[in-house]
Structure 1
Amino acid sequence: MWVYGALRLRDGQELTLTAPSRNTQGYLQLLYAVDQANPVGDLYLIMDNLSSHTSAPIRAWLDEHPHVHQVPIPKRACWLNLQEGWWRLFRREALAGQTFADHTEIELASRLATQQLNARAKPWVWQRPPPKPQHYRHAFVYRI
Protein backbone atom coordinates (compact mmCIF):
# COMPACT_ATOMS: atom_id res chain seq x y z
CA MET A 1 0.00 0.00 0.00
CA TRP A 2 1.32 3.42 -0.95
CA VAL A 3 0.08 6.84 0.18
CA TYR A 4 0.34 9.71 -2.31
CA GLY A 5 0.05 13.29 -1.14
CA ALA A 6 -0.04 16.88 -2.35
CA LEU A 7 0.42 19.85 -0.02
CA ARG A 8 -1.12 23.22 -0.90
CA LEU A 9 1.30 25.69 0.66
CA ARG A 10 -0.94 28.75 0.76
CA ASP A 11 -3.33 27.24 3.34
CA GLY A 12 -1.58 24.05 4.48
CA GLN A 13 -4.30 21.73 3.16
CA GLU A 14 -3.22 18.26 2.11
CA LEU A 15 -4.73 15.83 -0.37
CA THR A 16 -3.88 12.16 0.14
CA LEU A 17 -4.73 9.05 -1.86
CA THR A 18 -3.85 5.42 -1.30
CA ALA A 19 -2.85 3.01 -4.05
CA PRO A 20 -1.67 -0.60 -4.16
CA SER A 21 1.79 0.39 -5.43
CA ARG A 22 3.97 3.35 -6.36
CA ASN A 23 3.64 3.64 -10.11
CA THR A 24 2.45 5.88 -12.92
CA GLN A 25 -1.23 4.97 -12.49
CA GLY A 26 -1.25 5.97 -8.83
CA TYR A 27 0.51 9.22 -9.63
CA LEU A 28 -2.00 9.95 -12.42
CA GLN A 29 -4.82 9.52 -9.88
CA LEU A 30 -3.12 12.09 -7.68
CA LEU A 31 -2.76 14.52 -10.60
CA TYR A 32 -6.46 14.19 -11.43
CA ALA A 33 -7.39 14.83 -7.79
CA VAL A 34 -5.07 17.84 -7.51
CA ASP A 35 -6.46 19.28 -10.75
CA GLN A 36 -10.05 18.82 -9.50
CA ALA A 37 -9.24 20.39 -6.11
CA ASN A 38 -7.61 23.45 -7.76
CA PRO A 39 -9.69 24.29 -10.85
CA VAL A 40 -8.56 27.91 -11.26
CA GLY A 41 -5.11 29.24 -12.08
CA ASP A 42 -1.74 27.72 -12.75
CA LEU A 43 -0.48 24.86 -10.59
CA TYR A 44 3.19 24.37 -9.84
CA LEU A 45 3.90 20.87 -8.57
CA ILE A 46 7.27 20.48 -6.88
CA MET A 47 8.43 16.90 -7.43
CA ASP A 48 11.24 14.62 -6.44
CA ASN A 49 13.02 12.71 -9.20
CA LEU A 50 10.96 9.54 -9.18
CA SER A 51 10.76 7.89 -12.61
CA SER A 52 6.95 7.65 -12.48
CA HIS A 53 6.79 11.48 -12.34
CA THR A 54 8.27 11.73 -15.83
CA SER A 55 6.83 8.68 -17.59
CA ALA A 56 5.16 8.94 -21.01
CA PRO A 57 1.55 8.87 -19.66
CA ILE A 58 2.42 11.65 -17.20
CA ARG A 59 4.00 13.79 -19.93
CA ALA A 60 0.91 13.23 -22.11
CA TRP A 61 -1.38 14.24 -19.23
CA LEU A 62 0.69 17.38 -18.62
CA ASP A 63 0.48 18.27 -22.34
CA GLU A 64 -3.33 18.07 -22.08
CA HIS A 65 -3.29 20.27 -18.95
CA PRO A 66 -1.00 23.21 -19.76
CA HIS A 67 -1.89 25.02 -16.52
CA VAL A 68 -0.12 22.28 -14.52
CA HIS A 69 3.66 22.64 -14.32
CA GLN A 70 6.04 20.15 -12.73
CA VAL A 71 9.16 21.54 -11.08
CA PRO A 72 11.76 18.90 -10.19
CA ILE A 73 13.81 19.19 -7.02
CA PRO A 74 17.56 18.90 -7.53
CA LYS A 75 19.06 15.59 -6.52
CA ARG A 76 20.22 15.41 -2.88
CA ALA A 77 18.10 18.45 -1.96
CA CYS A 78 15.08 16.86 -0.29
CA TRP A 79 14.94 19.67 2.31
CA LEU A 80 13.55 21.90 -0.46
CA ASN A 81 10.37 19.80 -0.55
CA LEU A 82 7.96 21.04 2.14
CA GLN A 83 5.89 17.90 1.59
CA GLU A 84 8.57 15.96 3.48
CA GLY A 85 7.81 17.92 6.66
CA TRP A 86 4.12 17.17 6.25
CA TRP A 87 4.90 13.45 5.84
CA ARG A 88 6.68 13.54 9.20
CA LEU A 89 3.51 14.91 10.83
CA PHE A 90 1.37 12.40 8.93
CA ARG A 91 3.45 9.39 10.00
CA ARG A 92 3.26 10.48 13.63
CA GLU A 93 -0.50 11.10 13.41
CA ALA A 94 -1.56 8.07 11.34
CA LEU A 95 1.04 5.37 11.61
CA ALA A 96 3.01 5.67 14.87
CA GLY A 97 2.29 2.77 17.21
CA GLN A 98 -0.27 1.23 14.85
CA THR A 99 -0.56 -2.29 13.50
CA PHE A 100 -2.69 -2.72 10.40
CA ALA A 101 -4.42 -5.95 9.39
CA ASP A 102 -5.10 -5.00 5.78
CA HIS A 103 -5.14 -2.13 3.29
CA THR A 104 -8.59 -0.89 4.35
CA GLU A 105 -7.24 -0.05 7.81
CA ILE A 106 -4.35 1.86 6.24
CA GLU A 107 -6.81 3.78 4.05
CA LEU A 108 -8.96 4.63 7.07
CA ALA A 109 -5.98 5.74 9.17
CA SER A 110 -4.71 7.82 6.25
CA ARG A 111 -8.08 9.50 5.70
CA LEU A 112 -8.58 10.26 9.40
CA ALA A 113 -5.07 11.63 9.88
CA THR A 114 -5.42 13.84 6.80
CA GLN A 115 -8.74 15.21 8.08
CA GLN A 116 -7.26 15.93 11.51
CA LEU A 117 -4.17 17.61 10.09
CA ASN A 118 -6.26 19.66 7.64
CA ALA A 119 -8.51 20.82 10.49
CA ARG A 120 -5.56 22.61 12.09
CA ALA A 121 -3.64 23.44 8.90
CA LYS A 122 -1.72 26.69 8.52
CA PRO A 123 0.19 28.10 5.54
CA TRP A 124 3.61 26.54 4.98
CA VAL A 125 6.57 28.83 4.51
CA TRP A 126 10.03 27.68 3.58
CA GLN A 127 12.38 29.68 5.73
CA ARG A 128 14.66 29.38 8.67
CA PRO A 129 13.05 30.20 12.03
CA PRO A 130 14.29 33.39 13.71
CA PRO A 131 17.16 32.85 16.14
CA LYS A 132 16.30 32.64 19.81
CA PRO A 133 17.39 35.64 21.84
CA GLN A 134 20.47 34.98 23.91
CA HIS A 135 20.27 35.72 27.60
CA TYR A 136 23.59 36.05 29.32
CA ARG A 137 23.85 34.77 32.83
CA HIS A 138 26.55 37.17 33.91
CA ALA A 139 27.37 40.61 32.62
CA PHE A 140 30.98 41.68 32.87
CA VAL A 141 32.11 45.26 32.78
CA TYR A 142 35.68 45.96 31.76
CA ARG A 143 37.19 49.26 32.79
CA ILE A 144 40.44 50.76 31.71
Structure 2
Amino acid sequence: MRGRKPVLLTLSDEERAALESIVRRRGSGEALAQRARIVLACAEPDSTNAGVARALGVSRSSAIVWRQRFLAHRLEGLVDQPRSGAPRQVGDDQIERLIALTLETQPDNATHWSTRAMARQAGMSQTMVSRVWHAFGLAPHRQKTFPLSSDPALVDKVRDMVGLYMASPDRALVLCVDEKPQIQAVERTAPVLPMRPGQPERAIHDDKQHATTDLLAALDVRTGTVIGARKGRHHAVAFCAFLDEVEAAVPAELDVHLVLDNAATYKTRLIFDWLVKRSRWHLHFTPTSASWLNLIEGWFALLTRRRLQQGVFTSTADLGAAIHAYIDQTNADPKPFVWTKTSDAMAWPTLRRSVP
Protein backbone atom coordinates (compact mmCIF):
# COMPACT_ATOMS: atom_id res chain seq x y z
CA MET A 1 0.00 0.00 0.00
CA ARG A 2 1.21 3.46 -0.79
CA GLY A 3 1.02 6.16 1.89
CA ARG A 4 0.05 9.75 1.56
CA LYS A 5 2.48 11.88 -0.45
CA PRO A 6 4.66 14.03 1.90
CA VAL A 7 4.34 17.78 1.94
CA LEU A 8 6.80 19.49 -0.40
CA LEU A 9 9.76 21.06 1.43
CA THR A 10 11.50 23.97 -0.30
CA LEU A 11 14.67 25.64 0.97
CA SER A 12 15.87 29.17 0.37
CA ASP A 13 19.51 29.70 -0.55
CA GLU A 14 20.25 31.01 2.94
CA GLU A 15 18.59 28.04 4.63
CA ARG A 16 20.42 25.53 2.43
CA ALA A 17 23.75 27.23 3.17
CA ALA A 18 23.02 27.20 6.91
CA LEU A 19 22.08 23.51 6.88
CA GLU A 20 25.16 22.54 4.89
CA SER A 21 27.31 24.54 7.32
CA ILE A 22 25.82 22.62 10.27
CA VAL A 23 26.62 19.31 8.56
CA ARG A 24 30.23 20.31 7.80
CA ARG A 25 31.04 22.07 11.07
CA ARG A 26 32.97 19.97 13.55
CA GLY A 27 31.48 21.75 16.52
CA SER A 28 27.93 20.75 15.64
CA GLY A 29 26.47 18.04 17.81
CA GLU A 30 25.72 14.72 16.12
CA ALA A 31 21.98 15.04 16.77
CA LEU A 32 21.81 18.52 15.19
CA ALA A 33 23.91 17.44 12.20
CA GLN A 34 21.62 14.40 11.63
CA ARG A 35 18.54 16.61 11.65
CA ALA A 36 20.15 18.94 9.12
CA ARG A 37 20.92 15.95 6.86
CA ILE A 38 17.31 14.79 7.12
CA VAL A 39 15.97 18.22 6.13
CA LEU A 40 18.40 18.46 3.18
CA ALA A 41 17.35 15.01 1.99
CA CYS A 42 13.65 15.90 2.36
CA ALA A 43 14.23 18.97 0.16
CA GLU A 44 15.37 16.85 -2.78
CA PRO A 45 12.85 16.53 -5.68
CA ASP A 46 10.44 13.57 -5.37
CA SER A 47 11.85 12.60 -1.96
CA THR A 48 9.70 10.43 0.30
CA ASN A 49 9.93 9.88 4.01
CA ALA A 50 10.63 6.19 3.52
CA GLY A 51 13.36 6.93 0.97
CA VAL A 52 15.01 9.48 3.27
CA ALA A 53 14.89 6.98 6.14
CA ARG A 54 16.58 4.27 4.07
CA ALA A 55 19.24 6.61 2.68
CA LEU A 56 20.25 8.01 6.08
CA GLY A 57 19.68 4.92 8.21
CA VAL A 58 17.00 6.47 10.41
CA SER A 59 13.44 5.54 11.16
CA ARG A 60 10.59 6.72 8.94
CA SER A 61 8.99 8.47 11.93
CA SER A 62 12.18 10.55 12.42
CA ALA A 63 12.03 11.70 8.81
CA ILE A 64 8.35 12.67 9.26
CA VAL A 65 8.99 14.51 12.55
CA TRP A 66 11.85 16.65 11.28
CA ARG A 67 10.19 17.41 7.96
CA GLN A 68 7.13 18.69 9.79
CA ARG A 69 9.18 20.51 12.45
CA PHE A 70 11.15 22.36 9.79
CA LEU A 71 8.01 23.25 7.84
CA ALA A 72 6.49 24.71 11.02
CA HIS A 73 9.51 26.51 12.54
CA ARG A 74 12.19 26.52 9.83
CA LEU A 75 15.79 26.52 11.19
CA GLU A 76 14.72 27.26 14.76
CA GLY A 77 12.76 24.03 14.78
CA LEU A 78 15.92 21.91 14.66
CA VAL A 79 16.94 22.95 18.20
CA ASP A 80 15.52 21.06 21.17
CA GLN A 81 12.98 23.01 23.18
CA PRO A 82 13.78 23.49 26.89
CA ARG A 83 12.26 20.78 29.00
CA SER A 84 10.11 21.55 31.99
CA GLY A 85 12.00 19.18 34.28
CA ALA A 86 10.96 18.02 37.70
CA PRO A 87 9.21 20.55 39.96
CA ARG A 88 11.31 22.32 42.58
CA GLN A 89 11.49 20.54 45.92
CA VAL A 90 13.07 23.47 47.81
CA GLY A 91 11.33 26.82 47.84
CA ASP A 92 12.70 30.34 48.09
CA ASP A 93 11.78 30.56 51.79
CA GLN A 94 13.84 27.48 52.58
CA ILE A 95 16.82 28.83 50.64
CA GLU A 96 16.53 32.17 52.45
CA ARG A 97 16.47 30.35 55.81
CA LEU A 98 19.53 28.29 54.80
CA ILE A 99 21.49 31.43 53.92
CA ALA A 100 20.47 33.13 57.17
CA LEU A 101 21.59 30.09 59.19
CA THR A 102 24.91 30.05 57.37
CA LEU A 103 25.62 33.74 57.91
CA GLU A 104 24.14 34.34 61.34
CA THR A 105 24.58 31.13 63.36
CA GLN A 106 27.34 28.76 64.41
CA PRO A 107 27.15 25.05 65.24
CA ASP A 108 27.51 24.04 68.89
CA ASN A 109 30.60 21.87 68.46
CA ALA A 110 32.50 23.63 65.67
CA THR A 111 33.68 27.06 64.53
CA HIS A 112 31.86 26.86 61.19
CA TRP A 113 29.18 24.90 59.38
CA SER A 114 29.90 21.88 57.20
CA THR A 115 27.52 20.80 54.43
CA ARG A 116 26.43 17.72 56.41
CA ALA A 117 25.84 19.64 59.63
CA MET A 118 23.90 22.35 57.80
CA ALA A 119 21.86 19.72 55.93
CA ARG A 120 20.74 18.25 59.27
CA GLN A 121 20.02 21.69 60.70
CA ALA A 122 18.11 22.99 57.66
CA GLY A 123 16.31 19.73 56.90
CA MET A 124 17.52 19.31 53.31
CA SER A 125 20.07 17.23 51.43
CA GLN A 126 23.81 17.84 51.57
CA THR A 127 23.81 18.24 47.77
CA MET A 128 21.25 21.05 47.98
CA VAL A 129 23.30 22.83 50.67
CA SER A 130 26.39 22.61 48.47
CA ARG A 131 24.50 23.99 45.46
CA VAL A 132 23.09 26.93 47.39
CA TRP A 133 26.45 27.79 48.97
CA HIS A 134 28.14 27.63 45.58
CA ALA A 135 25.45 29.80 43.96
CA PHE A 136 25.75 32.49 46.64
CA GLY A 137 29.54 32.30 47.03
CA LEU A 138 29.46 31.00 50.61
CA ALA A 139 32.44 29.01 51.92
CA PRO A 140 32.27 28.69 55.74
CA HIS A 141 35.42 26.54 55.82
CA ARG A 142 37.59 29.31 54.35
CA GLN A 143 39.10 32.27 56.17
CA LYS A 144 41.16 35.13 54.76
CA THR A 145 43.38 37.48 56.70
CA PHE A 146 43.90 41.18 56.10
CA PRO A 147 46.55 43.62 57.33
CA LEU A 148 45.60 46.02 60.12
CA SER A 149 48.10 48.64 61.19
CA SER A 150 48.07 50.46 64.51
CA ASP A 151 50.55 53.08 63.32
CA PRO A 152 49.23 56.54 64.35
CA ALA A 153 50.88 58.08 61.28
CA LEU A 154 49.47 55.46 58.93
CA VAL A 155 47.72 57.77 56.49
CA ASP A 156 50.62 60.19 56.18
CA LYS A 157 53.10 57.38 55.62
CA VAL A 158 50.94 55.64 53.02
CA ARG A 159 50.42 58.86 51.08
CA ASP A 160 54.14 59.63 51.27
CA MET A 161 55.04 56.17 49.96
CA VAL A 162 52.45 56.08 47.19
CA GLY A 163 53.47 59.60 46.15
CA LEU A 164 57.07 58.42 45.72
CA TYR A 165 55.90 55.51 43.55
CA MET A 166 53.46 57.42 41.36
CA ALA A 167 55.28 60.76 41.07
CA SER A 168 58.97 60.39 41.83
CA PRO A 169 60.80 63.67 42.58
CA ASP A 170 62.89 65.21 39.82
CA ARG A 171 66.64 64.61 39.89
CA ALA A 172 66.17 61.93 42.52
CA LEU A 173 66.38 58.17 42.81
CA VAL A 174 63.76 56.20 44.74
CA LEU A 175 65.14 52.92 46.10
CA CYS A 176 63.10 50.28 47.92
CA VAL A 177 65.48 48.57 50.34
CA ASP A 178 65.00 45.50 52.50
CA GLU A 179 66.70 42.34 53.67
CA LYS A 180 65.79 38.75 52.87
CA PRO A 181 67.27 36.93 55.87
CA GLN A 182 68.14 33.31 56.53
CA ILE A 183 68.17 32.05 52.94
CA GLN A 184 69.26 28.45 53.38
CA ALA A 185 71.33 26.39 50.97
CA VAL A 186 69.38 23.14 50.65
CA GLU A 187 70.76 20.04 48.96
CA ARG A 188 68.70 16.94 48.20
CA THR A 189 69.99 13.58 49.43
CA ALA A 190 69.09 12.03 46.07
CA PRO A 191 69.05 13.44 42.53
CA VAL A 192 65.95 15.30 41.39
CA LEU A 193 63.97 13.30 38.82
CA PRO A 194 63.21 15.46 35.78
CA MET A 195 59.76 16.34 34.53
CA ARG A 196 58.14 13.98 31.99
CA PRO A 197 54.91 14.20 29.98
CA GLY A 198 52.07 13.76 32.45
CA GLN A 199 54.44 13.76 35.45
CA PRO A 200 55.90 16.74 37.34
CA GLU A 201 59.49 17.03 38.51
CA ARG A 202 60.01 14.87 41.59
CA ALA A 203 62.36 15.44 44.52
CA ILE A 204 62.97 13.32 47.58
CA HIS A 205 61.57 14.72 50.82
CA ASP A 206 64.89 14.36 52.63
CA ASP A 207 67.37 17.20 52.30
CA LYS A 208 70.74 18.29 53.61
CA GLN A 209 70.66 21.79 55.03
CA HIS A 210 73.80 23.88 54.76
CA ALA A 211 74.47 27.33 56.21
CA THR A 212 72.31 30.38 55.56
CA THR A 213 72.99 33.76 54.01
CA ASP A 214 71.28 37.17 54.16
CA LEU A 215 70.54 39.25 51.09
CA LEU A 216 70.32 43.05 51.17
CA ALA A 217 68.77 44.51 48.03
CA ALA A 218 67.74 47.91 46.69
CA LEU A 219 65.17 48.16 43.88
CA ASP A 220 65.18 51.23 41.64
CA VAL A 221 61.47 52.09 41.38
CA ARG A 222 61.82 53.91 38.06
CA THR A 223 64.00 51.43 36.12
CA GLY A 224 63.46 48.11 37.91
CA THR A 225 67.19 47.45 38.35
CA VAL A 226 68.49 45.92 41.58
CA ILE A 227 71.60 46.44 43.69
CA GLY A 228 72.20 43.37 45.84
CA ALA A 229 74.79 42.20 48.37
CA ARG A 230 75.03 39.08 50.53
CA LYS A 231 75.88 39.52 54.18
CA GLY A 232 76.73 36.86 56.72
CA ARG A 233 74.79 38.48 59.56
CA HIS A 234 71.96 40.96 59.98
CA HIS A 235 73.36 43.96 61.86
CA ALA A 236 73.94 47.69 61.47
CA VAL A 237 77.54 47.30 60.30
CA ALA A 238 76.48 45.12 57.36
CA PHE A 239 73.70 47.54 56.45
CA CYS A 240 76.09 50.49 56.63
CA ALA A 241 78.49 48.68 54.29
CA PHE A 242 75.58 48.09 51.90
CA LEU A 243 74.71 51.80 51.97
CA ASP A 244 78.32 52.52 50.99
CA GLU A 245 77.86 50.29 47.94
CA VAL A 246 74.64 52.08 46.99
CA GLU A 247 76.28 55.46 47.51
CA ALA A 248 79.07 54.51 45.12
CA ALA A 249 76.58 53.28 42.49
CA VAL A 250 74.29 56.34 42.52
CA PRO A 251 75.37 59.45 40.53
CA ALA A 252 76.48 62.25 42.84
CA GLU A 253 74.02 64.80 41.40
CA LEU A 254 70.92 62.78 42.39
CA ASP A 255 69.07 62.80 45.69
CA VAL A 256 68.37 59.36 47.15
CA HIS A 257 65.02 58.43 48.71
CA LEU A 258 65.09 55.12 50.59
CA VAL A 259 61.90 53.18 51.33
CA LEU A 260 62.51 51.01 54.42
CA ASP A 261 60.54 48.97 56.93
CA ASN A 262 60.73 49.53 60.68
CA ALA A 263 63.56 47.12 61.53
CA ALA A 264 65.68 48.27 64.47
CA THR A 265 68.84 47.84 62.38
CA TYR A 266 67.90 50.86 60.28
CA LYS A 267 67.52 53.14 63.32
CA THR A 268 70.82 52.64 65.11
CA ARG A 269 73.29 55.38 65.99
CA LEU A 270 75.72 54.11 63.34
CA ILE A 271 73.16 54.55 60.54
CA PHE A 272 72.07 57.92 61.94
CA ASP A 273 75.65 59.22 61.90
CA TRP A 274 76.13 57.87 58.36
CA LEU A 275 73.05 59.74 57.13
CA VAL A 276 73.94 63.00 58.90
CA LYS A 277 77.07 63.22 56.76
CA ARG A 278 75.08 62.77 53.53
CA SER A 279 72.38 65.38 53.15
CA ARG A 280 71.11 64.02 49.82
CA TRP A 281 69.77 60.86 51.49
CA HIS A 282 66.15 60.79 52.69
CA LEU A 283 64.47 57.91 54.54
CA HIS A 284 60.80 56.90 54.25
CA PHE A 285 59.56 54.21 56.64
CA THR A 286 56.60 51.99 55.86
CA PRO A 287 53.78 51.96 58.44
CA THR A 288 53.83 49.34 61.16
CA SER A 289 52.64 45.93 59.86
CA ALA A 290 52.66 47.22 56.29
CA SER A 291 55.93 46.00 54.83
CA TRP A 292 53.94 44.95 51.73
CA LEU A 293 54.05 48.62 50.70
CA ASN A 294 57.76 48.16 49.99
CA LEU A 295 58.07 47.18 46.32
CA ILE A 296 61.23 45.15 46.95
CA GLU A 297 58.98 42.52 48.54
CA GLY A 298 57.57 41.77 45.08
CA TRP A 299 61.06 41.25 43.69
CA PHE A 300 61.94 38.97 46.63
CA ALA A 301 58.84 36.90 45.83
CA LEU A 302 59.97 36.49 42.22
CA LEU A 303 63.47 35.52 43.32
CA THR A 304 62.07 32.86 45.64
CA ARG A 305 59.62 31.41 43.16
CA ARG A 306 61.87 31.44 40.10
CA ARG A 307 65.30 30.64 41.52
CA LEU A 308 65.29 29.48 45.15
CA GLN A 309 62.19 27.40 45.77
CA GLN A 310 63.17 24.42 43.63
CA GLY A 311 66.90 25.09 43.60
CA VAL A 312 69.52 22.63 44.83
CA PHE A 313 72.58 24.26 46.41
CA THR A 314 75.60 22.41 47.78
CA SER A 315 76.93 25.40 49.74
CA THR A 316 76.28 29.04 50.52
CA ALA A 317 78.78 29.94 47.80
CA ASP A 318 76.65 27.99 45.30
CA LEU A 319 73.53 29.71 46.65
CA GLY A 320 75.17 33.14 46.44
CA ALA A 321 76.24 32.55 42.84
CA ALA A 322 72.64 31.70 41.90
CA ILE A 323 71.31 34.84 43.62
CA HIS A 324 73.84 37.13 41.93
CA ALA A 325 73.14 35.47 38.57
CA TYR A 326 69.44 36.24 39.02
CA ILE A 327 70.27 39.87 39.91
CA ASP A 328 72.39 40.13 36.74
CA GLN A 329 69.52 38.76 34.65
CA THR A 330 67.12 41.24 36.27
CA ASN A 331 69.42 44.15 35.45
CA ALA A 332 69.98 42.93 31.88
CA ASP A 333 66.24 43.14 31.17
CA PRO A 334 64.69 45.22 33.97
CA LYS A 335 60.94 45.49 34.38
CA PRO A 336 59.81 48.04 36.99
CA PHE A 337 56.93 47.34 39.36
CA VAL A 338 54.29 49.93 38.43
CA TRP A 339 52.11 51.19 41.29
CA THR A 340 48.67 52.14 39.94
CA LYS A 341 46.33 52.78 42.90
CA THR A 342 46.20 56.06 44.79
CA SER A 343 46.31 56.07 48.59
CA ASP A 344 42.68 57.19 48.88
CA ALA A 345 41.52 54.33 46.64
CA MET A 346 43.27 51.59 48.65
CA ALA A 347 40.79 49.20 50.30
CA TRP A 348 42.45 48.89 53.71
CA PRO A 349 40.24 48.91 56.82
CA THR A 350 42.41 51.17 59.01
CA LEU A 351 43.13 53.51 56.15
CA ARG A 352 39.43 53.85 55.33
CA ARG A 353 38.62 54.76 58.94
CA SER A 354 41.48 57.24 59.20
CA VAL A 355 41.07 59.22 55.99
CA PRO A 356 38.98 62.35 56.73
On whether the aligned pair clears a TM of 0.5, the verdict is yes
- Identify the range of structure 1 (11-20 vs 36-45) with the bigger mean alpha-carbon deviation: 36-45
CA distance in 2, matches of 1:21, 1:94: 22
Specify the alignment match of 1:137 in structure 2: none
Equivalent residue for 2:259, pick from 37, 42, 46: 46
SS in structure 1 at match of 2:305: helix
Q: Which has the higher contact order (CA 8 A, sep 6+)?
A: 1
Partner of 2:218: 6
Give the structure with higher Rg (CA): 2
The 2-side partners of 1:107 and 1:15 are apart by 14
SS at match of 2:227: strand
Letter in 2 for 1:10: R
Tell me if the contact between 1:62 and 1:68 (Cα under 8 Å) persists in the aligned partners.
Answer: yes
1:33-74: CA deviation from partner (whole Å, max 9, x where unpaired): 111111231100000011111111100100111111111100
Identical columns (%): 29
Equivalent residue for 1:75?
Answer: 288
Question: SS where residue 75 of structure 1 aligns?
Answer: coil
Secondary structure of residue in 1 paired with 2:297: helix
- The correspondence of residues 42-121 of structure 1 with structure 2, limited to 5 A, is 42-121=255-334
CA distance in 2, matches of 1:93, 1:30: 25
Matched, 1:16 2:228: yes
Number of residue pairs aligned between Structure 1 and Structure 2: 128
Runs of 4+ in 1 over 3 A off after TM superposition: none
Query: Match of 1:82, as an amino acid?
Result: L
Q: Post-superposition shift, 1:91?
A: 1.4
| 113-122 or 79-88, which deviates more | 113-122
**Within 2, Cα distance between the matches of 1:5 and 1:53?**
14
Q: Which has the higher mean CA deviation after the structures are superposed, 78-87 or 4-13?
A: 78-87
Counterpart code for 1:78? S
Verify the 8 A CA contact 1:93 1:113 in the aligned structure 2. Answer: no
CA-CA distance at 1:6 after TM superposition: 0.2
Question: C-alpha displacement at 1:125, in angstroms?
Answer: 2.0
1:99 CA displacement:
2.8
Q: What secondary structure does 1:122 align onto?
A: coil
Aligned counterpart for 1:26 among listed residues 223, 235, 238: 238
Counterpart CA distance in 2 for 1:101 and 1:13 is: 28
Q: Deviations over 1:56-95 (max 9, x none)?
A: 1100100111111111100111221111001111112331
CA–CA distance in 1 between the matches of 2:340 and 2:233? 33
Query: Which residue of structure 1 aligns with residue 158 of structure 2?
Result: none
The CA deviation at 1:102 is: 2.1
Question: Larger helix proportion, structure 1 or 2?
Answer: 2
SS in structure 1 at match of 2:282: strand
TM superposition score normalised by structure 1: 0.83
Q: CA RMSD in A?
A: 1.3
2:331 maps to amino acid:
N
Cα distance, 1:82–1:66 mapped onto 2, change above 3 Å: same
Q: Which secondary structure state, in structure 2, belongs to the residue aligned with residue 127 of structure 1?
A: coil
